[in-house]
Amino acid sequence: MIEGEYLESDEKAVIIAEGLASLLNIVTGDTIVLISQGYHGLNAAGKYPVKGLLKFTSPDLNKRMLYMPLKECQYFFGADNLLTSIALKIDDSRDVEKVLKKVSDKLDTEKYEVLGWKEMIPELVEAQKTDAAGNYIFLLVLYAIIGFGIFGTILMMVKERAYEFGVLVSVGMSRAKLSIMVWLETIILGLFGAFCGIIAAIPIVYYFKVNPIDFGGMSEEMGAAYEKWGFDPVLPTIMEFQLFFWQAFIVFVITSILATYAIWKVYRLKPVESMKE
């Protein structure tokens, strides 16, 4: 709700979407005349005051939606005690399939149709897949950059500590213990870097969660491009700590794999030559 008040259950009034109100040049307090076709082809007509305005993040919905109380809507269409559909709002999107199965098992599917949002809005699913593919490519490039950065650090560490490694092997330290020590040092260094990155990122992510990026405010062309795809040109960040955890885990895996180079160098180490270098 961006203006006015919400509807009461027995009220004879409507609330409309901001985009539709702009197209019809309507403000809160105006009266709108609705003309439609009712149940079994009956005429449906009524005059209703506009009690408030809604704003949808979907530009398509923002240009077409109008709400009235259920009882008044049934009276308007001459469809007393009838419904066309019931929408279920599920808190966790991962439970959608389970809920669909339970509802389908309890209803006569020959009389009623049970649909998930993916079946109702297939174009949104395709847009989501396209966006996800682009994100995966971006993450792959990002992890490659991180990998090269970590490998450069390991390469420098092994090169600068060649004399130290040569001395340790010469005085009797086993290569296995030395390899474990080098591996642990590398892992600790990688995890410490990931931890510092998370601490530095949290306030930035929280800021853009409270103050999302508004591409529509940057230029009309960019706002129109997002509207064409049916998205609001506002991108907020999300604060889910499992995302931070998984990034730290991925850095751990990358570091563990790259640390095998240091282990390989330790096992190929020639003490005398490394001390001369």
Q: Nearest to residue 256, comparing CAs of 141, 162, 147?
A: 147
Residues 143 and 254 in one domain: yes
Residues 271 and 147 in one domain: yes
pLDDT digits (tens, 9 = 90+) for 181-197: 888 888 888 888 888 88
Domain presence at residue 102: no
pLDDT digits (tens, 9 = 90+) for 75-125: 999 888 898 888 888 888 888 888 988 998 888 888 888 988 888 878 778
Domain presence at residue 109: no
d(CA 45, CA 38): 9
Q: What is the CATH number of the domain that holds 69?
A: 2.40.40
Domain presence at residue 113: no
Residues 226 and 168 in one domain: yes
What is the model's pLDDT at position 228?
Answer: 67
Domain presence at residue 85: yes
Residues 57 and 156 in one domain: no
Distance of CA 219 to the CA centre of its chain: 24
Q: Is residue 71 scored above 70 in pLDDT?
A: yes
The reply to whether the predicted model has a pTM over 0.75 is no
Q: 12 lies in which domain range?
A: 3-92
Residues 225 and 145 in one domain: yes
Domain presence at residue 99: no
Residues 260 and 135 in one domain: yes
On the 0-12 / 13-18 / 19+ scale of CB atoms within 10 A, 237 is middle
Domain presence at residue 127: yes
Domain presence at residue 104: no
Q: For the chain, how many structural domains are there in total?
A: 2
Q: Give the chain's mean pLDDT.
A: 86
Domain presence at residue 174: yes
